[in-house]
């Protein structure tokens, strides 16, 4: 049974819903799963400027936060981040930037990694965000597992082979988006199981 960490940042809840779906897929495939939210670092004034952001921060105040121990524990890690100018969100990047010690010790290498994202518009940078995220994973020495076009659900959800992506402007993820996320969790867990064997 591989350990699967789903580590994500969300400001209004879209990526949170996707993270839960990834976790469900991983669990159904036999993974021991931790779903962890990255700590919010934005100032209160910025959060308060968006009622949905404030509501999400308040609603998740008691949820466990991602730690470096989660990265070390995991055999597979699925990262989730909203798109910010075609790149990962600063909150997510801040968390990743604290992992230098684990990287230096080789504790991030030879794990399975994958990603998912969201953006406000259909062409808002989803693919470039995942590609930018994967640059970090190359440095980790990670084994990147994407959904590719290995299941019909990828086509049904919008056809992003790099990882599930959501157009957040349309509201919460659709069931097709969530199915794509569940499939990613399943695929990552299956590949981590094979790697451990």
Length of the chain: 197
Q: Is the dihedral of CA 121, 40, 27, 185 positive or negative?
A: positive
| Residue 135: domain span | 3-196
pLDDT value, residue 122 = 83
CATH of residue 99's domain is: 3.40.50.360
The three-class DSSP label of residue 8 is: strand
Read out DSSP for 130-182? HHHHHHHHHHHT-EE---TTSSHHHHHTT--TTS-EEEGGGSSPPHHHHHHHH
> Do 117 and 158 meet the contact criterion of CB atoms below 8 Å apart?
no
> Residues 5-13: what's their mean pLDDT?
96
Determine the Cα–Cα distance for residues 135 and 166; give it in Å rounded to an integer.
Answer: 21
Total of domains in the chain:
1
> Residues 110-127: what's their mean pLDDT?
93
* pLDDT tens per residue across span 30-44: 999 999 999 999 999
Read out DSSP for 64-99? PBP-HHHHHH-SEEEEEEEEETTEE-HHHHHHHHTT
Q: φ and ψ at 37, to 5 degrees? A: -85, 135
Task: Tell me the average pLDDT of the chain.
Answer: 95
What pLDDT band is residue 196 in, cutting at 50, 70 and 90?
confident
Residue 98's CB: how many other CB atoms inside 10 A?
Answer: 12
pLDDT value, residue 170 = 58
For β-strands 165-167 and 76-84, DSSP reports them as unpaired
What tokens does 93 get?
A: 């990047």
* pLDDT tens per residue across span 141-169: 999 999 999 999 999 887 799 999 998 87
> Residues 8-18: what's their mean pLDDT?
95
Residue 185 has pLDDT above 80, yes or no: yes
pLDDT value, residue 171 = 63
């Amino acid at each position: 049974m591989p350990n699967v960490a789903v580590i994500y940042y969300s400001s209004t809840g879209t990526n949170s819903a996707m993270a839960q779906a990834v976790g469900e897929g991983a669990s159904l495939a036999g993974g021991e799963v931790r779903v962890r939210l990255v700590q919010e670092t934005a100032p209160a004034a910025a959060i308060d400027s968006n009622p949905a952001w404030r509501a999400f921060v308040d609603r998740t105040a008691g949820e466990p936060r991602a730690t470096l121990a989660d990265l070390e524990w995991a055999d597979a890690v699925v990262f989730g981040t909203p798109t910010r100018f075609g790149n990962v969100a600063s909150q997510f990047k801040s968390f990743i930037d604290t992992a230098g010690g684990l990287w230096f010790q080789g504790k991030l290498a030879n794990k399975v990694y994958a990603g998912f994202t969201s953006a406000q518009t259909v062409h808002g940078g989803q693919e470039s965000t995942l590609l930018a995220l994967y640059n970090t994973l190359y440095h980790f020495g990670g084994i990147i597992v994407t959904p590719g076009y290995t299941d019909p659900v990828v086509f049904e959800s919008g056809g992003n082979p790099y990882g599930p992506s959501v157009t957040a402007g349309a509201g919460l993820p659709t069931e097709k988006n969530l199915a794509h996320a569940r499939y990613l969790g399943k695929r990552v867990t299956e590949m981590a199981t094979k790697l451990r064997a």
